[in-house]
Amino acid sequence: MKRPKPIVGFRKLVQKHRPAISEVVREPTAGGVIYRHSRINPGVVEILLIQDSKGRWTIPKGHIEEGENARQTAEREIREETGLQKMKVSDWLGKINFRYRRGSSLVLMTTEIFLVEALGDTNKIKPEKWMTSLAWLPAPQALDKIEYEDIGKLILLGLKKIRKAAL
């Protein structure tokens, strides 16, 4: 019986493989679906999205620091990432779990998302230096732009709560 020929380049393929995961890191984070009622188009709800350094549209969020709860983190991160100072953090919309690899670590990230109404001068916003952009978008446009399906679902839930509160 003949032996099968070795796969050419197999050794190179194995050598280029990423290192084995040596640790699991848990990172709790929080953020918000920020909305306002359009002053130009009555009845239109606008959502504030940020565009990260990789060009992906998402919502403001960040790591929970020691001594903070998720609601406090959401408010702090929104202020830091958008410059928005006045807001009302209301309903908890849900939790998103995802994972990614950082070197030889597996990062398990849990993000708690709140519904946040922008108050005061909502046009005085500016992105942090690491962001590409930020924009107020009518809700349907925001849903089209959002990069993450789970966040899109929470935006829809938030819009439902906004409509219910308006009745």
Whether residue 15 is contained in a domain is answered as: no
The predicted structure's pLDDT at residue 45: 95
Per-residue pLDDT tens digits for 113-145 = 999 999 988 887 776 666 567 889 999 999 999
Whether residue 72 is contained in a domain is answered as: yes
The answer, yes or no, to whether residue 9 has pLDDT greater than 70, is no
Domain that holds residue 66: 20-166
The predicted structure's pLDDT at residue 53: 77
Whether residue 6 is contained in a domain is answered as: no
| Number of structural domains found in the chain | 1
Whether residue 12 is contained in a domain is answered as: no
Give the H/E segment covering residue 150.
helix 149-166
Average pLDDT, stretch 68-86?
94
User: Considering the chain, what percentage of its residues have pLDDT values greater than 70?
Assistant: 86
The predicted structure's pLDDT at residue 59: 94
Whether residue 2 is contained in a domain is answered as: no
Whether residue 108 is contained in a domain is answered as: yes
Structure tokens at 138: 């009518």
Q: Which one is predicted more confidently, 15 or 53? A: 53
Per-residue pLDDT tens digits for 13-45 = 555 667 788 888 899 999 999 999 988 888 899
The predicted structure's pLDDT at residue 34: 97
Beta bridge partner(s), residue 105 = 23, 102
Whether residue 7 is contained in a domain is answered as: no
Of 31, 40, 104, the closest CA to residue 74 belongs to 31
Supply φ then ψ for residue 156, to 5 degrees: -60, -45
The predicted structure's pLDDT at residue 16: 60
Whether residue 1 is contained in a domain is answered as: no
User: Considering the chain, what percentage of its residues have pLDDT values greater than 90?
Assistant: 52
One-letter amino acid at 136 equals W
Q: What is the CATH number of the domain that holds 66?
A: 3.90.79.10
Render the burial of 4-33: b for 16+ CB within 10 Å, e for the rest. Answer: eeeeeeeeeeeeeeeeeeeeeeeebbbbbb
Supply φ then ψ for residue 97, to 5 degrees: -115, 130
The answer, yes or no, to whether residue 48 has pLDDT greater than 80, is yes
Q: Which one is predicted more confidently, 46 or 53? A: 46
The CA-atom distances, in angstroms, between 145 and each of 49, 51, 74, 86, 151 are: 9, 10, 21, 25, 11
The answer, yes or no, to whether residue 99 has pLDDT greater than 70, is yes
When pLDDT is cut at 50, 70 and 90, the band that residue 3 belongs to is low
Average pLDDT, stretch 71-98?
93
Distance CA 154, CA 124 (A): 25
